[in-house]
Chains A and B, each alone.
Chain A
Amino acid sequence: MNRKNTLPYIKWALNSMHEDLSLLYYPFDWADIFSLSLIISYYKANGTTPKIEFSNENAKKVAVRMGIKNFLDVNFEDHRTYHDSTGRFIEFKNFRTEEEVFNLGGEIVELLRKTELREDDVRSLGWIIPELMDNVINHACSPVGGYVCGMVYKTMGYVEFAIVDSGIGFKGSFQKRFGNLSEREAVRRAVLEKDDAGTSDEKRGGGRGLPVSWEILKKAGGELLILTGHYAFNNGEILPIWDDNNWQGVAIRFTFPYGKIGYNDLYELLGTPEDILPPIYQRSGSIEEDDIFDMI
């Protein structure tokens, strides 16, 4: 298996889902972590724990350090000495509620700060990651919630993240609210159209977090891969990838090069051109100037 080519590798991993897996992980890279995230999510949604055999010591170490081992049925013990939570790993975590997304979002921002990323990078990632996790809770109907993990590659200058669920996919989510549409159209709407094109409803949101995240990633020179149902969104292209998989969830993998995006870029991307100050926003005459920064 050529690990440089992610899509066939993921396809292979998904097609192996109904068997015990003995994966020869060497070297253990981000494609492996992403595929394992998918496997764990799918197996857990079906009420089982994936049985994985690692044949390589390096892979075992990464699986332990990433926290992935805790979600697998594996046959090796953990003898590693744990350090504090600083460093390059954003450990593999499961989230099932908005409360957990809220807390985890805060934790991830704190961890990213410890890696000494620039403030605008932390701000960008702190905006993107909770938005994608919140989508899982609000739209995916995933029986196991979602899974998130990340890694900071300091010397290479980028961050990788994976956010995976085993829910109803973009198509299922849109169908529940807006009727029948093709899987390709669902992917296009979810990633490329903002809510003013009709993907939002009055109860929830549903149309802005992912498209704006993609715009931020593009501006930063990053990459975005989304697998859902039978389709993939790969850096702007929507491609059919599978004919026969049962998995309908959404798996997102993105790369964010740091030091590439600034405050002005974010200012341009967050918000529409309709930047008019509504009168309701003017400071009320009932507020004393001295009170403004002296809140309870």
Chain B
Amino acid sequence: MNSKVVKINVAETIGTVLTTRLRGMRLRKQLHTILFEEKRDVFLNFSGVEILGNSFADEIAKLIAELKMKNSERGKLSILIPDPLYKKLLLSRAVYREKQLKRLNLESFPLDENLQT
């Protein structure tokens, strides 16, 4: 296993106004590869983020829920969100999504970028 931690500064790599489900899903997809396939640890830094929208946060919350449900060998995720408001938003979504996974008896959420059905 490659033990080097992958550090991602979200504000620098994606933007300071984080909106839309698709952008959140793309980040989740990228993190899936690192955590589940490469089995490397990730440090996700939200410092400098000015707006964290519900849809974007919800996709990261799905990842947190998936990590809590998966017992297989994988990398670990650490997240820094200096703004308590957005930390609360993300955690609330994570709690909700974890309950949903348990209710549906699933380990993960779909990663389909074609959102319109």
Contact = CB atoms under 8 A, between A and B. Distances in A.
Interface of A: 98-99, 101-102, 105-106, 109, 123, 126-127, 130-131, 134, 137-138, 141, 176-177, 195-196, 200, 202-205, 208-209, 212, 263, 266-267, 270-272, 274-278, 280-284, 286-287, 291-293, 295-296
Given A202-B106, A209-B55, A281-B79, A123 B50 contact: yes
Interface in B16-60: 16-17, 19-23, 41, 43, 45, 47, 50-51, 53-55, 58
A275 B95 CA distance: 8
B78 A284 contact: yes
Contacts of B16: 106
Interface of B: 3, 5, 7-9, 12, 15-17, 19-23, 41, 43, 45, 47, 50-51, 53-55, 58, 64, 67-68, 76-80, 84-86, 88-89, 91-96, 98, 100-101, 104, 106, 109-110, 112, 115-117
Residue of A105, A292, A295 with highest tally of chain B CB at under 10 A: A295
Contacts of A270: 54, 85-86, 88-89, 92
Contact of B54 (A205, A276, A283): A205
A274 B95 CA distance: 7
Given A287-B5, A296-B7, A281 B91 contact: yes
Given A137-B116, A284-B5, A286-B76, 6 more contacts: A123-B51, A126-B50, A127-B54, A141-B116, A177-B117, A293-B45
Contacts of A292: 45, 80
B53 A131 contact: yes
Contacts of B67: 280
Contacts of A196: 96
Contact of B53 (A134, A284, A286, A295): A134
